[in-house]
């Protein structure tokens, strides 16, 4: 398919010349004013704009300024057309973001070559960006696969295999979705924050790697000393993530993953561990995870207990409303009872 070039000039003669020069290789569209550029762009997206500077009403520089301010149009390459070949004008053209400029009167061979070069460079740029995006997606997927593998290996040490990671992540995602629908913490729950939190949640128990097998695999109740030892996994998890992941993944991801690992056993009333944080001192990601983690612990079968029905789990968690859990978040979780039942059957 031919690339489309939009030529903008108030001179009908210049428009005719440009069309004659370029229409053999390109689909050429023309408008005769700056105002008409935006009327055209509402319905069309050219591959290149040839933009006259000196026009009555909205001149080329004003058109360019508006293009660059628009998220939709700022990526369209622009070549300025000008009879003013002074150094100052040339500098202004490039400062405003033009990829090139063509002097008037047009020299056919030069005009055609500059348009060809710009189209070729833009095509190369798009291909390169696509290749980079594909590679980034592969790297991101590899990182996530490594995270899941690490989490599954750690979970397998206490007999839960990787299903706890899978279920907890699903409950976290559901709670985030319901919070987003209600507009809760919308200033924190940006798309990027949600994405990082969903990817980081499998790492929340990574600190268990520091806990001896004899404690993790103990079928009966823990002694006071053993319970104190297992509590250390939260702070250890946060430290492991902070010290070992900050060179390989995004820093915001590291912070969210660290918070979820370190603080998901904190309680809303300040009675949790490792730091006795209270209320909104606890990072939002950890407050969300705490609900999902406890729910899964209650309804799932472990080597030392049977899983309980959803209703019984809700009764126990309701008693912890305002104590272990933030009331508003727990209410949102309870309201998703139907979706939770479906998730439990699927998982």
Radius of gyration of the chain from Cα atoms?
30
Which range, of 153-157, 201-205, 332-336, averages the lowest pLDDT?
A: 153-157
Residue 317: per-residue pLDDT: 97
User: How far, in Å, CA of 38 to CA of 51, rounded?
Assistant: 13
Is residue 160 predicted with pLDDT exceeding 60? no
CATH 1.10.3210.10 range(s) for the chain read 157-346
pLDDT digits (tens, 9 = 90+) for 94-142: 888 899 988 888 888 888 999 999 999 888 888 888 787 777 677 566 6
Domain covering 4-129 in this structure, CATH number: 3.40.50.2300
CATH 3.40.50.2300 range(s) for the chain read 4-129
pLDDT, mean of residues 307-321: 94
pLDDT, mean of residues 34-39: 94
User: What does the angle CA 189 – CA 237 – CA 157 come to, to the nearest 5 degrees?
Assistant: 115
- Within 8 A by CB and 6+ apart from 60, the residues are 8, 34, 51, 52, 53, 54, 80, 81, 82
Mean pLDDT score of the chain: 87
Residue 220: per-residue pLDDT: 73
Kindly report the pTM of this predicted structure: 0.61
| Helix, strand or coil, per DSSP, at residue 6 | strand
**pLDDT interval class at 151 (50, 70, 90):** low
Is residue 305 predicted with pLDDT exceeding 60? yes
347 versus 282: which is more confidently predicted? 282
Is residue 159 predicted with pLDDT exceeding 80? no
Is residue 312 predicted with pLDDT exceeding 80? yes
Strands laid side by side in the 100-103 sheet: 27-31, 4-8, 48-52, 78-82, 100-103
**pLDDT interval class at 92 (50, 70, 90):** confident
- Dump the DSSP string for 295-322: HHHHHS-BTTB----HHHHHHHHHHTBT
60-74, 99-113, 161-175: which is most confident:
60-74
Residue 52: per-residue pLDDT: 93
Is residue 145 predicted with pLDDT exceeding 80? no
Is residue 171 predicted with pLDDT exceeding 60? yes
User: How far, in Å, CA of 263 to CA of 327, rounded?
Assistant: 17
Can you identify the CATH homologous superfamily of domain 157-346?
Answer: Hypothetical protein af1432 (1.10.3210.10)
What percent of the chain stands above pLDDT 70? 90
pLDDT digits (tens, 9 = 90+) for 218-248: 777 788 888 888 888 899 989 988 887 776 6
């Amino acid at each position: 398919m031919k690339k489309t070039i939009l030529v903008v000039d108030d001179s009908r003669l210049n428009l005719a010349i440009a069309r004659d020069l370029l229409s053999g290789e390109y689909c050429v569209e023309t408008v005769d004013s700056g105002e008409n550029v935006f009327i055209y762009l509402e319905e069309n997206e050219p591959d290149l704009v040839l933009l006259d500077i000196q026009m009555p009403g909205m001149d080329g520089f004003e058109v360019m300024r508006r293009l660059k301010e628009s998220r939709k149009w700022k990526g369209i390459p622009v070549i300025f057309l000008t009879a003013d070949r002074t150094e100052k004008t040339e500098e202004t053209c490039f400062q405003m973001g033009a990829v090139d400029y063509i002097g008037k009167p047009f020299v056919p061979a030069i005009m055609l070559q500059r348009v060809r070069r710009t189209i070729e460079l833009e095509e190369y740029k798009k291909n390169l960006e696509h290749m980079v995006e594909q590679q980034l997606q592969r790297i991101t997927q590899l990182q996530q696969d490594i995270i899941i593998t690490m989490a599954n290996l750690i979970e397998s040490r206490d007999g839960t295999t990787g299903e706890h990671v899978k279920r907890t992540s699903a409950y976290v995602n559901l709670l985030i979705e319901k919070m987003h629908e209600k507009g809760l913490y919308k200033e924190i729950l940006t798309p990027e924050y949600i994405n990082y939190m969903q990817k980081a949640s499998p790492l929340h128990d990574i600190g268990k790697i520091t806990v001896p097998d004899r404690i993790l695999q103990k079928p009966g109740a823990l002694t006071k000393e053993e319970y104190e030892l297992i509590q250390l996994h939260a702070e250890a998890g946060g430290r492991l993530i902070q010290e070992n992941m900050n060179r390989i993944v995004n820093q915001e991801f590291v912070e969210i993953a660290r918070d979820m690992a370190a603080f998901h056993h904190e309680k809303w009333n300040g009675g949790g561990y490792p730091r006795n944080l209270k209320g909104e001192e606890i990072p939002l990601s950890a407050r969300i995870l705490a609900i999902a983690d406890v729910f899964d612990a209650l309804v799932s079968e472990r080597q030392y207990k049977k899983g309980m029905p959803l209703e019984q789990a809700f009764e126990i968690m309701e008693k912890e409303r305002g104590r272990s859990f933030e009331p508003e978040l727990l209410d949102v979780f309870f309201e998703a009872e139907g979706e939770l039942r479906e998730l439990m059957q699927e998982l």
